[in-house]
Structure 1
Amino acid sequence: MSEQKKQLVEIKLSPDQTEGTKATVAQWLKRTGDAVTQDEPIIELETDKVMMEVVAPVSGILQEKWVLEGEPAEENKILGTILETGVSKPANEREKQAEETPNLGTNPLPRKNPTAGLPDPPSTFISPAVRRLRQIHQLDLSQIAGTGRNNRITSRDVKAHLAAGDVALSPSPSQADVVPQTDPGSELIPHTPMRQSIAEHMQHSVQTAPHVTSVFELDMTAIIKHRQQHKQAMADAGVKLTFTAYFVAAAVQAIRHQPQVNSQFHEHGLEVFRHVNLGFGTALGDDGLIVPVIQQCQNLNLQQIAAQLTELTAKARDNRLSPKDVQGGTFTISNHGVSGSLVATPIIINQPQTAILGLGKMEKRVVVETHNGQDMMVIKPMCYVSLTIDHRALDAHQCNDFLTHFKQVIETWS
């Protein structure tokens, strides 16, 4: 008996896989009793920020699943076990058969395979969750592009395909049991783990920190001129030079001038960071919002910042971000103007940070300037810039001092 226990290998998450994020088992990619190969993906996890895969630590037989689909997968929690013998036990075979064969009573009627005749996807493996969605919606999986490892189709890929085609997603039995009564003329869309996490994070932030916002006006003339002169050269180097790159670089300069903005509030004191790990909000359409983080921004020039923005934005929209790409932020920028917003207030602070910078839509406005002692109306490309602070940690002095310096950097760029 002791010999068999030595052959059982536990499947666990290491701290660097989640790095503090909440993870949920989206789907098991293998059935109990299936043979697995070391480093082969066996579990698909969905965190509040990214999709990730757990690989088999050894080769053998998947013995048990201790955490099922939809349940939380915590750091160092045993998700399941693998038997290194490579021999499937009769009990495992019975469990595997039970998973594949529904209980239809003592006199079951023959059932037709609802997916018979449908083309298979390019990937040779179809996970149970994808198979269920395929059966429910009679999908041709060969028409869906996979974003998983080796272009494997994930459940998120299928749901994105269904949403794009305006096909309603059917809740799982566990969801259906807790779905509240709704109006006959409405549609209830189940929350994704990402949406649930966003809701919890935002609610926690407003309950924790008293939010105060200052708004300044920003003249974009200087950076527009600089961008026109350099964007082609950067494009030739494979880098997209956006206004956000200037905002990031100017925020770093303003943090150097007013470092307390780059901090975390503790009951016993204010932790001020020497490094600037700057996160930037990236919208994922109806799926929510994610905040990739540019690490050690204080050591990067404009082109390096732009390159990081280009890479991380592409990874975010292609669902290729790793947990490390969204961890460790000390300050955040929300460029909400890209979607047409002039002012957004308060922008919810990304806890446990103490401030968040907001940039509105750039538009031409009439402003008054003094030339030769005379007031004149001129047209300028302007936008509103705001800083929302945790008033436990910062006051108006630090907030307005930061914005004054940020404004100066942008308006005198050369």
Structure 2
Amino acid sequence: MNDMSIKSQTIDITAPVQQEGTKAVLRSWLKADGDVVAKDEPVVELETDKVVVEVCAPCDGILRYVMVIDTDAPPGALLGRVESSLSTNADVLTPTDVAEKPSTKIPACAGEFRLSPSVRRLLAEHELDAASVIARGTGRDGRLTRQDVLNVIAERDASPATVSTAPVKIEAEKAPVTAPAPATTAQVKALEPSSATGGPKVASLIPHSSMRRKIAEHMQHSVTVAPHVTSVFEVDFAAIIAHRKRSKEVFAKQGVNLTFTAYFIAACVEAMKASPEVNSRWHADHLEVFQDVNIGVGAALGDKGLIVPVIHQAQDLSLMGIASRLQTVTEAARNGKLKPADVQGGTFTISNHGVSGSLFASPIIINQPQSAILGIGALEKRVVVREIDGVDTFQARPMAYVSLTIDHRVLDGSQTNAWLSRFVEVIQSWSLTS
């Protein structure tokens, strides 16, 4: 390296300020303490109740840890620092300069600490040894992705003897972790199976995941601040079933899967015109009514919780545009690849609880700070009365219950019913509006 005068500058690595109202947890360091990092290179992963976020290095330099794994990281929290060496001459100390020197550190891509939280969970669920599959990584810098693990699982299921199924051994990054304090007598007693004191036998003690804790906090906050009231209507799906049957092949040629949810989103946009206050946010001294209709769609992640990707500015999209964007975010949610922006900025939410067989659910908890949430029950054929040429007839029709749970501080019954009436009208007369 050329002779020059060098001075050090330390730049902080902080948690993103926008986290959709939740705090994050530092789940893993992607680089080791003391490693050379480049500007905009991912160095740490944060996990919220909705998404895993990679935080990048703010500049070239040497990474220094501050926060340890499994520590809460609220917006703006200091995670670590990068020591950037600057020269007073034209030459600058770069990561390449430092890399030329022999290093005894383990390459970041070689250790199991390179695994993201979603990959760790998938390995644990399928009892895969991380060391046996780490070489299959196709991600950035050879990182193991969720799809890589799914491929290994598929191969193992096809030929069980070809892949090791030894218990997974995932170690945290070599960070300066503070040892937990010994459990007190009261804490140990609290964890004892109740059968020891004559109560029912306990099958297991399952620690709450970070996502489950955040969901619990969010739901408790919602029912605490907002008086929930639910209104229920019934809707006939015959029109959209017929339209979907006619249009599905056309959409498929564009690579788009046309689902009922796309119709629900489009109908919500129309219903907002009948009652704009549904698309709003309550403040102590005013009501903030939004022009953009950003509709979140709840997506279940099995027993791990729920995530709500958002279709932004749905009022500007055609049915094709809605279906295409919905397909994109749904696939990202299933693969654990949602970006922070994909779950932020929602103004209204749809809970399609009927996909798991539920006819009706009440109340569906409002996704704060929104003012209402739509519930869609299971579709089933029911006998209903329809008048034909002045004569009442009994018909079997594809019916479902739809509900609108509202924040009663914001909305009254007349506004709620006006919104639902328009929603039902759009769904039932789709051939006239499409």
TM-score where L is the length of structure 2? 0.77
User: Match for residue 283 of structure 1?
Assistant: 300
Displacement after TM superposition at 1:77 (Å): 2.7
- For 1:126, which of 86, 91, 112 is the aligned residue? 112
Query: Residue 430 of structure 2: SS of its match in structure 1?
Result: coil
Query: Residue 216 of structure 2: SS of its match in structure 1?
Result: helix
Query: Residue 320 of structure 1: SS of its match in structure 2?
Result: coil
User: Match for residue 80 of structure 2?
Assistant: 80
Note if contact 2:48-2:211 (Cα within 8 Å) is conserved in structure 1.
yes
Residue 139 in structure 1 maps to residue 129 in structure 2: yes
Displacement after TM superposition at 1:35 (Å): 2.3
State the alpha-carbon separation in 2 of the partners of residues 212 and 307 from structure 1: 33
Q: 26-35 or 349-358: which moved more?
A: 26-35
Note if contact 1:25-1:73 (Cα within 8 Å) is conserved in structure 2.
yes
- For 1:297, which of 296, 301, 314 is the aligned residue? 314
User: Match for residue 33 of structure 1?
Assistant: 34
Residue 50 in structure 1 maps to residue 51 in structure 2: yes
Displacement after TM superposition at 1:170 (Å): 10
User: Match for residue 236 of structure 1?
Assistant: 253
Displacement after TM superposition at 1:147 (Å): 9.0
Displacement after TM superposition at 1:37 (Å): 2.7
Displacement after TM superposition at 1:33 (Å): 2.1
Q: 1:90-122: per-residue Cα shift (whole Å, max 9, x none)?
A: xxxxxx99x99xxxxxxxxxxxxxxxxxxxx9x
Change (3 A) 1:317 1:166: farther
Displacement after TM superposition at 1:20 (Å): 4.3
Note if contact 2:22-2:214 (Cα within 8 Å) is conserved in structure 1.
no
State the alpha-carbon separation in 2 of the partners of residues 167 and 218 from structure 1: 50
Q: 1:336-362: per-residue Cα shift (whole Å, max 9, x none)?
A: 111111101110000011100000110
Query: Residue 80 of structure 2: SS of its match in structure 1?
Result: strand
Displacement after TM superposition at 1:182 (Å): 4.5
Amino acid at match of 1:127: F
Displacement after TM superposition at 1:272 (Å): 1.1
State the alpha-carbon separation in 2 of the partners of residues 72 and 242 from structure 1: 38
1:329-344 alignment runs, 5 A limit: 329-344=346-361
Q: 363-372 or 124-133: which moved more?
A: 124-133
Amino acid at match of 2:191: Q
State the alpha-carbon separation in 1 of the partners of residues 373 and 414 from structure 2: 16
Displacement after TM superposition at 1:149 (Å): 4.2
Number of equivalenced pairs? 378
State the alpha-carbon separation in 2 of the partners of residues 166 and 371 from structure 1: 67
State the alpha-carbon separation in 1 of the partners of residues 168 and 182 from structure 2: 14
- For 1:153, which of 111, 133, 144 is the aligned residue? 144
Change (3 A) 1:174 1:232: farther
Displacement after TM superposition at 1:57 (Å): 1.9
Change (3 A) 1:150 1:176: farther
Note if contact 1:19-1:324 (Cα within 8 Å) is conserved in structure 2.
no
Residue 220 in structure 1 maps to residue 237 in structure 2: yes
Displacement after TM superposition at 1:209 (Å): 0.7
Amino acid at match of 2:77: K
Change (3 A) 1:255 1:128: closer
Change (3 A) 1:51 1:255: same
User: Match for residue 270 of structure 1?
Assistant: 287
Note if contact 1:358-1:387 (Cα within 8 Å) is conserved in structure 2.
yes
1:11-410 alignment runs, 5 A limit: 11-15=13-17, 18=19, 20-63=21-64, 65-85=65-85, 124-127=110-113, 139-143=129-133, 149=140, 152-153=143-144, 174=180, 177=183, 180-183=190-193, 185-410=202-427
Note if contact 1:61-1:87 (Cα within 8 Å) is conserved in structure 2.
no
Change (3 A) 1:350 1:175: farther
Note if contact 2:137-2:144 (Cα within 8 Å) is conserved in structure 1.
yes
Q: Would you identify which runs of 4 or more consecutive aligned residues in structure 1 move more than 6 Å?
A: 128-135, 144-148, 154-158, 164-173
Amino acid at match of 2:243: H
State the alpha-carbon separation in 1 of the partners of residues 312 and 293 from structure 2: 7
State the alpha-carbon separation in 2 of the partners of residues 345 and 50 from structure 1: 27
User: Match for residue 110 of structure 1?
Assistant: none
Change (3 A) 1:221 1:141: farther
Note if contact 1:39-1:58 (Cα within 8 Å) is conserved in structure 2.
yes
Note if contact 1:147-1:319 (Cα within 8 Å) is conserved in structure 2.
no
Question: Identity percentage over the alignment?
Answer: 50
State the alpha-carbon separation in 1 of the partners of residues 235 and 331 from structure 2: 28
Change (3 A) 1:171 1:44: closer
Amino acid at match of 1:75: P
State the alpha-carbon separation in 1 of the partners of residues 67 and 303 from structure 2: 29
State the alpha-carbon separation in 2 of the partners of residues 288 and 147 from structure 1: 28
Displacement after TM superposition at 1:311 (Å): 0.3
Amino acid at match of 2:283: H
State the alpha-carbon separation in 2 of the partners of residues 82 and 156 from structure 1: 31
The answer for unaligned runs of 5 or more in structure 1 is: 89-95, 101-120
Displacement after TM superposition at 1:166 (Å): 12
- Please report the RMSD computed on the Cα atoms of aligned residues, expressed in angstroms: 3.7
Displacement after TM superposition at 1:286 (Å): 1.6
Change (3 A) 1:233 1:141: farther
Change (3 A) 1:5 1:344: farther
Query: Residue 55 of structure 2: SS of its match in structure 1?
Result: strand
State the alpha-carbon separation in 2 of the partners of residues 271 and 206 from structure 1: 20
Change (3 A) 1:151 1:205: farther
State the alpha-carbon separation in 1 of the partners of residues 416 and 63 from structure 2: 55
